[in-house]
Structure 1
Amino acid sequence: RIHIMYKYDKDSVEYYLLKHWYYLLMMRKGDIEDNLPKFNKKIGYMINKPQILSLILDIDPLLKKAYLWKENYLDFNEDYTFDTASIRYDELYNELKQMRINEFKDVISFLENWKTEILNSFIYIDERRISNGPIESINGRIKVLMKTSLKYKNFERLRNRIMFCINKNSLPLMTNEKNSHKVEGKKRGKYKKNK
């Protein structure tokens, strides 16, 4: 999008559409609301969001191909099963390679290197697809807790705090033994305020 945008003059309609309405390219086609047309000063007539998307895709055929590929990949990710995903995955990978879009080099290498893992994500267990998202969320919460706590000296307290933050119903300790880390020292006397 940016590469195409800079081909046009900053006062042009194409530049305006690619600069200010780019988020429509990131949305799913079905999620873009079919709102009532509003007058757009730059374009010069009444227009709604699906029509703006259509104008954006008509700017460059390469942009349209990239957008359609993105939509096809998201459809594949939602609709296919482990048994049928492999063939469609190869088709999408070959389509992307044939487009020869420089900005998609990282996506091509990603799809090439992680094919097995991506296809394994289509396996369902208890009516849910396999994902490391939940464990990544827990790891993130632990990292934030460690960062904001300014270091716990007592591991059991740290563990209890983590368990409580992750699951409010968790027990405070796994064992009945409580290890005290109290340091023996001289008792403090009465507090005397200097006047």
Structure 2
Amino acid sequence: MNSREEIDRIVFYSKEDGATSHNLIKAEKLLSNFDSEQIFTFNDLFEFYNIKLHFDNDLFLTKWNKSDKERYNQIIEKTWATLKDRLIKISDQNIEKILNDLGYNYKKNFWELINKLSIYKNISHSTFSDILKDFSSQINYVLPQKNIVQKFNTVIRDFLMTYNNSAEILLSQFEEKK
């Protein structure tokens, strides 16, 4: 698999999503043709992570037998370990390039894992401020991440004071609480 079109990539939306079987059919093809020697991009690894999210929610194709599931799970565990290893190496020096190359469908996953794996600790306030300036739409993925918001609360506040879409974000937060 070379760099695939973003629209063809596998995304996990929710356990009840209607695209689950379609995504699992694509996952089966990807897993059946898996080459452990391949150099994976972040987008490739996030695609495997989204397959992992399907599996973690007990979503499998009914035609898969126990050995298929075990074989596929082994691949997913390997790619998950690789993704974690790559994420842990994120720093001020490389985060903006990674964000720039990351497919739209995986930005939410990116910030969830930056939060969950405490990678935000590797990012300085000035770099985070630059990210918000250069990638302003990221604020929508950052705000639900409690640990990131706690660390960068001042940077986020300062950004939101000048961001054109702040009112929209505040209103959507208000609507969700209602």
TM-score, structure 2 normalization? 0.29
Greater RCO (Cα-Cα under 8 Å, separation 6 or more): 2
Structure 1 or 2, whichever has the larger Rg, is 1
TM-score, structure 1 normalization? 0.27
